[in-house]
Structure 1
């Protein structure tokens, strides 16, 4: 362990919000009232052993919006995403400093249970990971037991239908709910995983390159699902596809790690501004495909 590395989760100093962040918080207030949640990272630094991969990253992810994390491979985007629902700490050598505030409350606070954080902040991974031998129906409700939620037998059917509808999969599978989830196509499996995440009623949905292994048709359907879901849940997505970031996100954060330094956010802002008139020349070069 290096001397500057924390041996436990530390609380970082409060960061000053930019004018853009302040406007986002104000815009998010109505969403918070209706159940949507904002997420705010404050001075997040992360390590794997002695290797520092993120350095004091701060970002507001407003309620009811889609935030895209963009940047070249190895700049810490996925690590940052995993800090947002306490999955980073699953790695034995991992450590972290800073705060992740869900509507102003730190999810790393000792008084908050990790299962609560994982229920409120769901995750969809790069590779679809349904339980292959489990039925489509049972895949959707699998998260209930894992998070300690009790739902009556009669209500489970309604929950499965609601979750599959939101994930854009109901019409395709409603007549074969008792068939194995592993028999679905790749794109359908990914939407099944989205439905499984939605079944526990998360307030935030994290998505780590959810379309990278999918064909264009499946990718288009997932993107439609993201757009439809953003009225009910706040979404943070990691993507290497710049066109996808433009299509689905309301704001972007550009991550970069230069010359062996830890990943940082170069700039963030509304998606159209980030692509049309970014302030930093490195952002302009990246979104136009000049590196990365």
Structure 2
């Protein structure tokens, strides 16, 4: 078991090359024998999963089975908790993000995160919210490049047409669904290769949920997406692949079954998977 409580200073990263493609090349993310603890309490045991590039992978399972912890392990956010520890490896196109020579900030720039509750900076303008990640990473760009990036990311997040005439208004004045799409735009601005989403629609109304799902579908060609959801219909709609997590009788969470979403829902191999996707427990 390896402690992961070490902290690092923010890296100054080079700006994206002007005229470069709209995003970095999507990456395959692979978890190899990942286990995780909070103090002496083990929450994940020997999780192995490949999340292919250009695909949406949904993580499903009842509450308390370790899905969100696994998501946080994937971009080194797990270690923000003082008692956290992990073992195993997380490979981004074959390179372990936990190698000693790799900076935490570099991993988090390549593997972005959208949280369950929208968290824009409420007093910061919509325009500045999108660019917040660049400032945090020390990325310098010209004003023209920043304006183009704001439009590009808001367009990709499905928000540009709704806010283009009020970019200088506070991000906190947007509706809940708009705030979540603003957070997606903010994540995209640093050009991640993978985007993690932890129940991004759980606090949203059906109309906003439908728009976020549409955005996920549009983004999958530009970025690898891993989404935690408790909504089985949503998992079936938005994902290409699915992994079913379960923690039974006080044991740590693990994957019962994973594979193409259609097969997981229509031809599951494990009876526990069939029971869960058909609403018989959880």
Aligned-pair distance for 1:206?
0.1
Q: Distance in 2 between matches of 1:122 and 1:257?
A: 27
Aligned-pair distance for 1:149?
1.7
Which of 215, 237, 240 pairs up with 2:230?
240
Aligned-pair distance for 1:7?
4.2
Which of 128, 135, 156 pairs up with 2:118?
128
Match of 2:151?
161
Matches within 5 A, 1:270-285: 270-285=260-275
1:103-159 superposed Cα distances (whole Å, 9 cap, x missing partner): 000000011111100000000000000000000000000000112222111210000
Q: Distance in 2 between matches of 1:208 and 1:36?
A: 19
Which of 110, 113, 120 pairs up with 2:100?
110
Partner-residue secondary structure (3-state), 2:118:
coil
Consecutive unaligned residues of structure 2, counting only runs of 5 or more, are 5-23
Partner-residue secondary structure (3-state), 2:3:
coil
Aligned-pair distance for 1:60?
0.0
Cα-Cα RMSD: 0.8
1:50 matches 2:45 = no
Contact 1:252 1:271 in 2 (8 A): yes
Q: Distance in 2 between matches of 1:271 and 1:148?
A: 39
1:227-286 superposed Cα distances (whole Å, 9 cap, x missing partner): 000000000000000000000000000000000000000010000000001000000000
Consecutive unaligned residues of structure 1, counting only runs of 5 or more, are 1-5, 10-33
1:159-204 superposed Cα distances (whole Å, 9 cap, x missing partner): 0000000000000000000000000000000000000000000000
Contact 2:3 2:84 in 1 (8 A): no
Match of 1:86?
76
Contact 2:129 2:186 in 1 (8 A): yes
Calculate the TM-score normalised by the size of structure 2: 0.92
Q: Which has the higher contact order (CA 8 A, sep 6+)?
A: 2
Calculate the TM-score normalised by the size of structure 1: 0.89
Partner-residue secondary structure (3-state), 1:178:
coil
Greater mean alpha carbon deviation, residues 168-177 or residues 151-160: 151-160
1:69 matches 2:59 = yes
Q: Distance in 2 between matches of 1:147 and 1:247?
A: 34
Contact 1:211 1:222 in 2 (8 A): yes
Match of 2:3?
8
Contact 1:116 1:147 in 2 (8 A): no
1:147 matches 2:142 = no
